[in-house]
Amino acid sequence: MNAVEVEELVKHYGSFALSGLSFTVPKGYITGLIGPNGAGKSTVIKAIMGMVLPEEGRITVLGNAVTGKEGSYKQQIGYISDESIYYEYLSMEQMKRIVAPFYDRWDEALFTKYMELFELPKRKKIKDCSKGMKMKFAIAMALAHHPKLLIMDEPTAGLDPVFRRELLDLLAEYILDENNTILFSTHLTTDLDRVADYVTFLNRGELVFSDSKDEVLERYVIVKGSRELLDPDVRRELVGVRETAVGFEALAKDQERAQALFGANALFERPTLEEIMYYTAKGGNVNASSHPFGS
Ligand SMILES: Nc1ncnc2c1ncn2[C@@H]1O[C@H](COP(=O)(O)OP(=O)(O)OP(=O)(O)O)[C@@H](O)[C@H]1O
């Protein structure tokens, strides 16, 4: 069963377009939505939340069609935005008092537990909180009403490495309940390496893949070899190529096909999600000096 279904979504912003995007978020698992800046992650998340109205397409959340109007199913969603959605001049405690009554399943003890765990001073005004504190507060608010679906837009942005790891552990604990589902966007693929079961990858508004993380990592392959192996036909088979003085490194979409193509002439390595994202986003020929891991 799917917690979220997105079918043939169409939305334009100037030259940016989501044109016929379809993917699902399986219930009981963690799905990571990845993609470079401007890929459309926030737009997709806002559309799922009913905050952006698509021009075409259908979205279903927990079995309910998203229409942009309020629906009681929203009680079951814990949403963490990449922007502050709270009244900055209120304290965290005052803000909580406004929000809590909207939720039937609000759990004050759980809220207090997270506020203490995250060491958040409840009387502090939201405007005086650091970025990380605001994110922690949003997480406490989202979890305190026992959501069935947690939707988070870049939740680890602005968090130090220690709390980032703690948050990922918290998500792993939340997902132990098989009725719970998480969808979160990030451009930090290391977050996904640690916790994601499924990965949906957007690039310039287009779906590159939406699949189980393990299958993606099995399917793609990094190929390394000498430059003489690269002719135009071979290049067409590769997602992205990075050439250096001594050879090339490339990403291929289909491990078996790449092995048939290069045989014993090349070396094959399992890619990381970061490498898949990097080569796909750059496409074609990649300038060696721009490689994030050095040349
Ligand atoms: N309200 C809006 N009005 C006009 N353009 C918008 C609006 N929202 C998003 N866009 C444009 O749509 C594109 C996708 O933006 P979006 O924020 O969805 O990407 P993203 O993948 O979340 O990026 P980032 O990782 O940088 O947050 C961008 O070109 C952005 O400028």
Cα–Cα distance, 225 to 156 (Å, whole number): 37
Across the range 159-181, mean pLDDT stands at 90
Measured over the CA atoms of residue 92, residue 93, residue 94 and residue 96, the dihedral's sign is positive
**CA–centroid distance, residue 10 to ligand 1 (Å):** 14
CA distance 230 to 275: 20
- Which has the closest alpha carbon to 53: 5, 4, 12? 12
Residue range 99-151, pLDDT digits in tens: 999 999 999 999 999 999 999 999 999 999 988 889 899 999 999 999 999 99
Structure tokens at 67: 């229409």
Q: What is the pLDDT of residue 293?
A: 36
Average pLDDT of the chain is: 90
Pocket of ligand 1 (CB under 6 A): 13, 16, 35, 37-43, 187
Ligand 1 pocket: which of 12, 15, 43, 189 to mutate (most atoms <8 Å of CB)?
43
Sorted by where each starts, the structural domains of the chain and their CATH numbers stand as 2-216 (3.40.50.300), 220-290 (3.30.70)
* Confidence tier at 167 by pLDDT (50, 70, 90): confident
Nearest-angstrom CA–CA distance, 156 and 167: 8
Confidence tier at 248 by pLDDT (50, 70, 90): very high
pLDDT at 288: 47
Q: Nearest residue CA, atom 28 of ligand 1?
A: 38
Convert the pLDDT of each residue in 27-73 to its tens digit. 999 999 999 889 999 999 999 999 999 999 999 999 999 987 888 88
pLDDT band at 286 (very low <50, low <70, confident <90, very high): low
Rounded to two decimals, the ipTM of the complex is: 0.96
- AA identity, residue 179: N
Strands 64-65 and 181-186 turn out to be unpaired
CB 66 within 8 A of CB 48: yes
User: Within its chain, how far is the Cα of 146 from the centroid?
Assistant: 21
Residue 202 alpha carbon, nearest atom of ligand 1: 21
Of 20, 24, 15, residue with least CA distance to 55: 20
Percentage of the chain lying above the pLDDT 70 cut = 96
Q: Where is pLDDT greater, at 22 or 86?
A: 22
pLDDT band (50, 70, 90) for residue 82: confident
Q: Is 242 helix (H, G, I), strand (E, B) or coil?
A: strand
Instruction: Provide the Cα torsion 271, 25, 183, 279; round to 10°.
Output: 30
Banded model confidence at residue 287, pLDDT cuts 50, 70, 90: low
Query: What 3-state class would DSSP assign to 159?
Result: coil
Predicted TM-score (pTM) of the model is 0.89
